[in-house]
Amino acid sequence: MEKDFFTDKVALVTGSSRGIGRAVALAFARAGSNVVINHYRAEGSSKRKAEEVCREIEDLGRKALVVPADIGQKSAVREMIEAVFGWGGRLDFLVLNAAKAPFKPIEKLLEREIRQLVETNYMGNIFCIQEALKLLEAAAGKIVFISSLGSRFYNPSYPLGSMKAAMEAVVRDCAESLGPKDISVNAICGGVVKTDSFRVLRQYMEEIEHIPEELCVTTEAIADVAIFLCGPAARGIRGQTIIVDNGLSNRLYRPAWAAKTEIKKRG
């Protein structure tokens, strides 16, 4: 990495009050960037957690700004980007991490749930790209989308996976259309990460509890790859989705001894 490459640059991480987004925001701060923390709700635990991340970033000696915004609303995204420019005067890195979806089969989704699924997880990300475009072009910026293995493997109660798959296609397309503007666009497909979403998901997918610990990934592992994709060492990577899953998706089946070994470790 070029020395001081990230210093005093500005990163916007959507959905960064907790989980993977929080880890990514802190990683940018440790690298030297100032960070905009976006969260969904203007009040309650979402606001409190965002303010906690803000304080952590400031303790690292970097600047931080908290901006509540529902990215599914284009006007809210526009106001968020205006706030970013007014605060930092630039935008170098856009990490699309925010996601919102119910845990239920697609055939059981209500109309309002389908609309929210598309508005937040597809339209919202595109709104962010559109509104941030001028700032990113001025900075030869980087866009990183946070996807998941649900984009390519069936889960009975994870309709979000279809939106993740759609966005991976958007990443490919934007890498081509924005390449002439010197904006790099890539994605990270994360494996099993034990965030708040994991704790909910295991209520609907019992088998997930039996995945060996060594095949799970940490939020920090995802954040490390986000920093890499935004850095100069990734200059030759465009329109790609990098899988970060500790090898979980390498095999359709795993030998029985693997499960037994994990049980022994727990026992």
Residue 158 has pLDDT above 60, yes or no: yes
Candidates 134, 137, 33, 42; CA nearest to 81 is: 134
DSSP assigned state of 156: T
Q: pLDDT tens digit string along 95-129?
A: 999 999 998 999 999 999 999 999 999 999 999 99
Residue 150 has pLDDT above 70, yes or no: yes
Distance (Å, rounded) from C-alpha 80 to C-alpha 217? 31
Dihedral through CA 76, CA 58, CA 221, CA 104, nearest 10? -40
State phi, psi for 74 to the nearest 5 degrees: -60, -35
Catalytic residues: 158, 164
pLDDT confidence of residue 156: 82
Q: pLDDT tens digit string along 70-81?
A: 999 999 999 999
Place of tokens 């005093």: 8
- The SS3 assignment for 97 reads coil
More confidently predicted of 74 and 215: 74
